[in-house]
Amino acid sequence: MPADTTLDDRAATVPAEAVAPLIRGVAVVRQLTDAGGVLSLSGLERATGLARSTVDRITGTLARMGYVRLDGRDAVLTPRIMELGNAYLAALRLPSVLDARADALADELDESVSLAVADRDGIRFIHQATRRRAMSLSFRIGDLLPAERTAPGPLFATEWTERDWAYWRERRAADPEDRGFPAVPPHSSSPGPDFERAAVRARQDDWALDDQLIEPGLVAVSVPVRDPGTGGIACVASVVSHTSRHTAAELRGTLLPRLRGAVGAMEDDLRALPRAESVAVPSGLATWTGASKQELGREFVESLARGLTVLTAFGEGRAELTLTEVAQATGLPRATARRALITYEHLGLVAASGDRRFTLTPRVLSLGFPPLSRTTLPDLALPHLTALTARIHESASLAILVGDDIQYTARVATSRVMSVNIAVGTRFPAYATALGRVLLADAEPARVQRALRDPRPLTPHTLTDPVALAAALETVRAQGYALVDEELEAGLRSIAVPVRDRTGRVVAALNTATHVARRSVEEYVRDILPELTRTASAVEADVRVAGRFTRVPAS
The least CB distance from residue 236 to ligand PHB, in Å, is 8
Greatest distance between any 2 Cα atoms in the chain: 81
Backbone angles phi, psi at 549, to 5 degrees: -125, 5
Q: How far apart are CA 497 and CA 510, in angstroms?
A: 5
Which residue, 225 or 441, has its beta carbon nearer to ligand PHB?
Answer: 225
Binding mask 209-228 for ligand PHB (x = CB under 6 A): -x---x-----x--------
Which residue, 126 or 313, has its beta carbon nearer to ligand PHB?
Answer: 126
Task: Tally Cβ neighbours within 10 Å of residue 235.
Answer: 30
Nearest CA to 78 out of 500, 397, 387 is that of 387
The least CB distance from residue 166 to ligand PHB, in Å, is 24
Q: Which residues does residue 412 pair with via DSSP β-bridges, in sequence order?
A: 396
* By CB under 6 A, residue 259 contacts ligand PHB: no
The least CB distance from residue 38 to ligand PHB, in Å, is 24
Instruction: State which of residues 114, 343, 407, 494 lies at the interface with ligand PHB (CB under 6 A).
Output: 114
Q: How many residues bind ligand PHB (CB under 6 A)?
A: 12
Which residue, 5 or 138, has its beta carbon nearer to ligand PHB?
Answer: 138
Nearest CA to 532 out of 481, 491, 479 is that of 481
Which residue, 17 or 159, has its beta carbon nearer to ligand PHB?
Answer: 159
The least CB distance from residue 167 to ligand PHB, in Å, is 21
Which residue, 47 or 116, has its beta carbon nearer to ligand PHB?
Answer: 116
Q: How far apart are CA 516 and CA 269, in angstroms?
A: 58
The least CB distance from residue 17 to ligand PHB, in Å, is 39
Q: How far apart are CA 304 and CA 23, in angstroms?
A: 8
Helix 529-546 with 377-392: angle, nearest 10 deg = 150
3-state secondary structure of 238: strand
**214 near 150, Cβ under 8 Å?**
yes
The least CB distance from residue 157 to ligand PHB, in Å, is 13
Q: How far apart are CA 63 and CA 70, in angstroms?
A: 7
* By CB under 6 A, residue 240 contacts ligand PHB: yes
The least CB distance from residue 98 to ligand PHB, in Å, is 14
The least CB distance from residue 266 to ligand PHB, in Å, is 16
- Name 463's Cβ contacts closer than 8 Å, sequence gap at least 6: 431, 432, 455, 469, 472, 487
**343 near 22, Cβ under 8 Å?**
yes
Which residue, 103 or 302, has its beta carbon nearer to ligand PHB?
Answer: 103
Q: How far does the chain reach from its first CA to its final CA, in angstroms?
A: 37
Which residue, 210 or 442, has its beta carbon nearer to ligand PHB?
Answer: 210
Which residue, 150 or 462, has its beta carbon nearer to ligand PHB?
Answer: 150
Residues 373-402 that bind ligand PHB (CB under 6 A): none
Which residue, 48 or 136, has its beta carbon nearer to ligand PHB?
Answer: 136
Which residue, 249 or 279, has its beta carbon nearer to ligand PHB?
Answer: 249
The least CB distance from residue 214 to ligand PHB, in Å, is 6
The least CB distance from residue 340 to ligand PHB, in Å, is 33
* By CB under 6 A, residue 238 contacts ligand PHB: yes
| Local structure of residue 353 (DSSP, 8 states) | -
The least CB distance from residue 150 to ligand PHB, in Å, is 4
**16 near 342, Cβ under 8 Å?**
no
Which residue, 198 or 385, has its beta carbon nearer to ligand PHB?
Answer: 198
The least CB distance from residue 437 to ligand PHB, in Å, is 42
**389 near 395, Cβ under 8 Å?**
yes
Q: How far apart are CA 513 and CA 431, in angstroms?
A: 16
Which residue, 181 or 481, has its beta carbon nearer to ligand PHB?
Answer: 181
User: What percent helix, strand, coil does the chain show, rounded to 5?
Assistant: 45, 20, 35
- Residue 32 identity: L
CA 402 to mean position of chain CA atoms? 25
The least CB distance from residue 191 to ligand PHB, in Å, is 12
Cα dist from 343 to 14, 86, 303, 333, 379, whole Å: 8, 20, 11, 16, 34
Residues 133-192 that bind ligand PHB (CB under 6 A): 138-139, 150-152
Q: How far apart are CA 422 and CA 397, in angstroms?
A: 10
Which residue, 214 or 319, has its beta carbon nearer to ligand PHB?
Answer: 214
DSSP 400-460: EEETTEEEEEEEE-SS--SSS---TT-EEEGGGSHHHHHHHTTS-HHHHHHHTSS---SST
> Which positions lie near ligand PHB, rule CB under 6 A?
112, 114, 138-139, 150-152, 210, 214, 220, 238, 240
